[in-house]
A and B are shown apart, each in its own frame.
Chain A
Amino acid sequence: MIDTAVFILIALTGGPLLGGFVSGLDRILTARFQSRIGPPLWQPFYDVVKLWGKENTVVNVWQAFCAYCYVAATSIALILFVLRSDLLLILFIQAVGAVFLVVGALSSTSPFSQVGAHRELLQILSYEPLLILVTIGIFLETGSFKIAGIYSWNEPLIMRLPFLFVVLGYALTVKLRKSPFDLSTSHHAHQELVKGLLTDYSGPILALTEIGHWYEVVLILGLCSLFWATNWIGMIVIVGVTYFFEVLIDNVSARLNWRWMLGYVWALGLSLSLVNLIWLYVD
């Protein structure tokens, strides 16, 4: 009982802390790629605290409600992950959070917000099947949807699921809204649709969505760590390398439109997962 409470506390506080530092690292790396110095590591925390202190201008009640639900859903997903619960349940709760963010954006009449929300729906449509396929692959290999079971598997999953790891990388790029798939909204100084999905979120509500995003980042990096869960070094290396490549791809690629995104992600993602699943099945 006490253990559970401690784990929940770790997930609730550690999630945003880690997520904030990861996004700070992201900004520094991005700046270095562009031969700039970049902001300090804790810049994302300054941003969120500042937004928290801004005037609260909400478009309507639903928007605020949806932002809170988004943070709640993403934090619950991370808590379940830390508690080593069911992977499918975690993914579904995460999806609920993502949809709440879209509904919040749809509740305003701003055309930027509307278009951004529709694009975000397309992004969800492109990465959700891939995440489920990755989960199925993990199940076929380990025989368990439980994270506890996956972590106790005695062989790194990436040896048997290399293609599915690439697929997860694809899903990660779409989920984190990195170029070339940052069409619903984008980070940093390169804007799309003003701010797309987040156009009408402002002040403390925007801070909430940022915190929710940090929970998501940590959750997805946690998913990556499942692929080399036999020891700590492997976990850290696989997560670090994956995130480095995400930032690299973010910086070297241009933004695609949604047809390209759906085509690329589905054609490549689905076929790669199919190949890996058949391999697992035959083997």
Chain B
Amino acid sequence: MLKKLIEKARIKSPWLLHYDCSSCNGCDIEVLACLTPVYDIERFGIINVGNPLHADILLVTGTVNYRNRQVLLNLFDQMPAPKVVVAIGACALSGGIFREAYNVIGGVDRVIPVNVYVPGCPAKPEAIIDGVVLGLQTLAQKHKERKADAA
């Protein structure tokens, strides 16, 4: 009963942490657009928190390079389980047009495990919301897998 409640609450109250690796800010503006009255994602209990210790979902935009790799890893490690990573925009997915640059490692999945990929340059707010919803399903799935592992 309590477990079911927690599972439901998880889907109803995802707190986002948004990290801009080295994006052009296009995707970041679209992420923040989701919080504005037009899209108002707080309707679904989604809050943008600035603290990895409070976050459930990590939104990453931009390419990962050798400088911010450690920061991204740190943020991911500091988030308490269960957690989900959503990569947003072409750069976060694969490195985008910066893929061949000498300082770029590539997409986010080269450093941390990514659960949902949201394409676009920049990604549309609707697509980002879709991505977060998909991420929530992954969260529920993860919970079930953990229970199956324990059994």
- In the complex, are the beta carbons of A47 and B13 less than 8 A apart? yes
Task: Please report the C-alpha to C-alpha distance between residue A198 and residue B15 in the assembled complex, in whole angstroms.
Answer: 15
A180 within 8 A of B: no
- In the complex, are the beta carbons of A39 and B54 less than 8 A apart? no
Per a CB cutoff under 8 Å, which of A43, A194, A203 touches B50?
A: A194
- Cβ–Cβ < 8 Å partners of A55 in chain B: 80-82
Task: Please report the C-alpha to C-alpha distance between residue A207 and residue B12 in the assembled complex, in whole angstroms.
Answer: 16
A38 within 8 A of B: yes
A180 to chain B, nearest CB (A): 20
Interface residues of B in 27-75 (CB under 8 A from A): 35, 37, 40, 42-45, 47-51, 53-54, 56
- In the complex, are the beta carbons of A52 and B53 less than 8 A apart? no
- In the complex, are the beta carbons of B45 and A47 less than 8 A apart? yes
Stretch of A12-20, A29-37, A215-223, A234-242 that contacts chain B: A29-37
A200 within 8 A of B: yes
Stretch of B3-11, B86-94, B112-120 that contacts chain A: B3-11
- In the complex, are the beta carbons of B45 and A43 less than 8 A apart? yes
A50 to chain B, nearest CB (A): 4
- In the complex, are the beta carbons of A36 and B37 less than 8 A apart? yes
B123 to chain A, nearest CB (A): 20
Per a CB cutoff under 8 Å, which of A34, A49, A188, A198 touches B47?
A: A188
Task: Please report the C-alpha to C-alpha distance between residue A6 and residue B87 in the assembled complex, in whole angstroms.
Answer: 52
- In the complex, are the beta carbons of B6 and A53 less than 8 A apart? yes
Known: A53-B10, A203-B80. A189 touches B42 (CB 8 A): yes
- In the complex, are the beta carbons of A199 and B13 less than 8 A apart? no
Known: A50-B10, A55-B80, A191-B49. A206 touches B43 (CB 8 A): no
Per a CB cutoff under 8 Å, which of B13, B50, B54, B81 touches A46?
A: B13
Task: Please report the C-alpha to C-alpha distance between residue A39 and residue B44 in the assembled complex, in whole angstroms.
Answer: 6
- In the complex, are the beta carbons of B49 and A50 less than 8 A apart? no
- Cβ–Cβ < 8 Å partners of A27 in chain B: 42
- In the complex, are the beta carbons of B53 and A57 less than 8 A apart? yes
Sorting the interface of chain A by its residue count into under 10, 10 to 19, 20 to 34 or 35 or more gives 20 to 34
- Cβ–Cβ < 8 Å partners of B53 in chain A: 57, 199-203, 206
B68 to chain A, nearest CB (A): 18
Task: Please report the C-alpha to C-alpha distance between residue A199 and residue B13 in the assembled complex, in whole angstroms.
Answer: 19
Task: Please report the C-alpha to C-alpha distance between residue A268 and residue B25 in the assembled complex, in whole angstroms.
Answer: 44
Known: A195-B50, A199-B53. A39 touches B43 (CB 8 A): yes
- Cβ–Cβ < 8 Å partners of B48 in chain A: 189
Mark interface residues in A145-185 (1 if CB within 8 Å of B CB, else 0).
00000000000000000000000000000000000000000
- Most interface-central of A45, A46, A50 (chain B CB within 10 A): A50
A251 to chain B, nearest CB (A): 13
- Cβ–Cβ < 8 Å partners of B80 in chain A: 54-57, 202-203
- In the complex, are the beta carbons of A50 and B40 less than 8 A apart? no
- Cβ–Cβ < 8 Å partners of A189 in chain B: 35, 42, 47-49
Known: A38-B43, A50-B56. A43 touches B13 (CB 8 A): yes
- In the complex, are the beta carbons of B51 and A31 less than 8 A apart? no
B107 to chain A, nearest CB (A): 26
Task: Please report the C-alpha to C-alpha distance between residue A38 and residue B49 in the assembled complex, in whole angstroms.
Answer: 16
B44 to chain A, nearest CB (A): 8
A191 to chain B, nearest CB (A): 4
- In the complex, are the beta carbons of A195 and B45 less than 8 A apart? no
- Most interface-central of B3, B8, B12, B49 (chain A CB within 10 A): B12
Known: A53-B9, A55-B81, A195-B54. A36 touches B40 (CB 8 A): yes
- In the complex, are the beta carbons of B12 and A50 less than 8 A apart? yes
List 11 A–B pairs whose Cβ atoms lie within 8 Å, in order of A's numbering: A27-B42, A35-B37, A36-B43, A37-B40, A38-B42, A43-B45, A47-B9, A191-B51, A195-B49, A199-B51, A206-B54
Q: Measuring CB to CB, which residues of chain B are less than 8 angstroms from any residue of chain A? A: 3, 5-10, 12-13, 35, 37, 40, 42-45, 47-51, 53-54, 56, 80-82
**Which 7 pairs of residues, A with B, have the shortest CB-CB distance?**
A53-B6, A202-B53, A49-B9, A55-B80, A50-B9, A46-B12, A46-B13
